A and B are shown apart, each in its own frame.
Chain A
Amino acid sequence: DQQVKQNSPSLSVQEGRISILNCDYTNSMFDYFLWYKKYPAEGPTFLISISSIKDKNEDGRFTVFLNKSAKHLSLHIVPSQPGDSAVYFCAASYSGNTPLVFGKGTRLSVIA
Chain B
Amino acid sequence: ETGVTQSPTHLIKTRGQQVTLRCSSQSGHNTVSWYQQALGQGPQFIFQYYREEENGRGNFPPRFSGLQFPNYSSELNVNALELDDSALYLCASSPGGSSYEQYFGPGTRLTVT
Contacts and interface: CB of A to CB of B under 8 A. Distances in A.
Nearest to A45: B104
Nearest to A43: B104
B104 A99 contact: no
A91 B6 CA distance: 22
Residue picked from A4, A49, A102, A103, most chain B C-beta under 10 Å? A102
Contacts of A105: 42
Nearest to A44: B104
A104 B104 contact: no
B95 to A, nearest CB: 8
A93 B100 contact: yes
B41 interface: yes
Interface of B: 4, 6, 31, 33, 35, 40-45, 48, 50, 55-56, 58, 90, 92, 94, 96-107
Interface of A: 4, 6, 32, 34, 36, 41-46, 49, 89, 91, 93, 95-105
